[in-house]
Each structure stands twice: as C-alpha cells, then as structure tokens.
Amino acid sequence: MPAPVTIVIPCYNAERWIGEAIQSALDQDWPAIEVIVVDDGSTDGSREKIREFGSRIRLIEGGHRGGNAARNAGLHAEAGEWVQFLDADDWLLPGKISRQLSGAGDEDVIFSPVLFDQDGCCTPSDIDPRRNTAALWLAWELPQTGGCLWRRNSLLSINGWNEATPCCQEYELYSRAIRTGLRFRFSETPGAIYRVWSDDTLCRKDPTKVIDVRTQLYREFVGWLRNKGVLTDGDLQLAGRACFEMARTIAKSDPARAAKYYDERKREGLIHLAGPAAPLSYRLAHSLLGFSFAEKLAHSRRRKS
C-alpha cells in the first residue's frame, strides 16, 4: 500500500492563485493523495474559487489567525502518513510527491530545492548536498515551505508550526526539528514553485523585524551546537557571515543601530566577513578603519554611483 499523503494549502485572500495551487496538488500522480484547503478568514473571492473543486478537496473554514495556525489546522485534521504544505500562491510540479517518496525509509523530513519564479524566470534555490543538515540550516539553504515532505507523526511530536513566529517560520520549525533529532533526507530534483510577486509580505515590509527574529534563531541554534560540543569553525563562519550581512543591511537605513548590532554579534563570535557583502575593497577598509567607517565609505560610493 502506498503511504497516504495529505497536501495542506493555507489560504488568505489568494483568489488570484488558489485555483492553480489546488489543481497542482490534485494533479500529483501519487495514488494516495488528499488535499485539504484551510481558508484563514479570506475576504475576497477565495472561498468561491475553492468551492469550485467540490468533493475533490476538503475545505476547513475559520477566522483570520495567520498562516501557521492554518497549517496546524490542516496538520491536526488530516490522517495521512506524510504531509505536504503548499502556500496558496505557489504550486507543485507534476510528480513532486512521487519523486520524493521514491526509496523513502525511516526519515522524518524529505527536502528538495524549490524554484523561485519571478516574472516567469525560474531559478532553483541553493542547497549544497555536501553540507550536513545543521550546516544547511546555518547557510540558510533549507527550502521554502513547499520543498518538504514531513512525516506527520514526527511533526506532531515537535508540536507543529509555532503560531507565535511572525517570520522565518520555516527556519524556526527546521531548528526545532534538527535539535529534536528528526532525520532529514535530500532529494535533488526541484518539485515546488515559489512565486515571487508581492511586496506586501513581512519579509519585504519590515526587514528590521526579520533581522531581529533571524538573529535570535541564529543565537539559539549556535548555542545549541556549542552546548552539544559539536560546534565547528565552519559553523561559526556560516553564522557569522549571515550576521555580518544583516549588519550591513541595517546600516543602509540606520548606521547607529547597525554599529550596535555589529558590536553585539562580534562579542558573541558571530561576525565573519565573507561572500558578496564583503568584497576586497570593503574588507580592506574594514581592517583599517572598522565597521562604521567602512560603511560610511560604502554609502559614499553608492551615492556617487
């Protein structure tokens, strides 16, 4: 018997996209698929679009409580052995479920790259299969929501999605999964499409909030690795690079806050100059003058260009 899979689609005011998301779920060739759509208090025509699919899907309706609450509603309602979460403005490629479940063993999470679709141009997300799961987390390379299959009982064992997390929601969940010892397996073929179409998301509207949440996640994760005695120099460099990039992002709008952030992370050992945010000219200025003066020079060059 094939393992039952439930595809959970949270929806809030996604009238434009929800039909395509549902159809892509119904079109999966895995023989044991159930599709649950959780309408999170939509005020547009989403529910009418959802009802057009009739008995082919299961609709759960409720008030507006947020994406994680909607995902948890679907998680607790379904009976499948595996669960696939799919945002209402994204879609799945044919065969996504069957490719990931091919050769499935005792793993708890099966993950693949996603394709980022911006104006019809699709680019795969970066996942370096040579890295272990913790390093993939630190490199921020684990996929967006649609890229994973979760074993339902394993996800329930860590209490599902954290409904209090406003952003970086997948990474908060991945962090708990890794720290709890859930087993991850990489499947190399992309099977989910993440549609980049709106600036009306927290990640774009409030980057400061995202940085606050992401930084706290890094501090907790690095602390966990350190307490386990498995933190490596490579791990610290990955975390330090991310925090350095965030310091530079803050500096574009608030240099004083950026300097404070930089100093705090440096005291914690979470600053590492590397990657595109640290070209040679910047690293030279930084080594001679420090972070704040290097940022002033960078700002001056941006204004001239």
Say yes or no: 141 and 240 in one domain.
no
Domain, as residue range, for 59:
5-197
Which of 154, 175, 197 finishes a domain? 197
The residues with which 84 forms a beta bridge, in sequence order, are 7
d(CA 11, CA 36): 11
d(CA 23, CA 144): 20
Mean pLDDT by 10 residues, the chain (305 residues): 95 97 98 97 97 98 96 92 98 97 94 92 92 98 97 98 96 98 97 84 74 98 98 98 98 96 98 97 96 94 75
d(CA 192, CA 187): 12
Say yes or no: 132 and 51 in one domain.
yes
Beta strands across the sheet bearing 58-62: 58-62, 33-40, 5-11, 82-85, 148-151, 109-111, 184-186
Say yes or no: 174 and 281 in one domain.
no
Say yes or no: 105 and 247 in one domain.
no
Task: Collapse the DSSP code of 147 into the 3-class scheme (helix H, G, I; strand E, B; otherwise coil) and give the result.
Answer: helix
- What is the b/e burial string over 31-66, where b = at least 16 CB atoms within 10 angstroms of the residue's CB? eebbbbbbbbbbeeebbebbeebeeebbebeeeebb
Say yes or no: 181 and 52 in one domain.
yes
Say yes or no: 175 and 222 in one domain.
no
Residue for token pair 């925090």: 243
Residue for token pair 């690095």: 222
Which of 145, 173, 197 finishes a domain? 197
Which of 181, 197, 213 finishes a domain? 197
Reported as type and span, the H/E element at residue 243 is: helix 233-251
Q: How many domains does the chain have?
A: 2
Task: Collapse the DSSP code of 151 into the 3-class scheme (helix H, G, I; strand E, B; otherwise coil) and give the result.
Answer: strand
Say yes or no: 218 and 150 in one domain.
no
pTM: 0.94
Say yes or no: 53 and 93 in one domain.
yes
Say yes or no: 113 and 187 in one domain.
yes
- For position 154, which CATH number holds? 3.90.550.10
Token pair for residue 284? 């030279």
Would you state the pLDDT for residue 201? Answer: 56
- What Rg do the C-alpha atoms of the chain give, in angstroms? 21
Say yes or no: 257 and 122 in one domain.
no
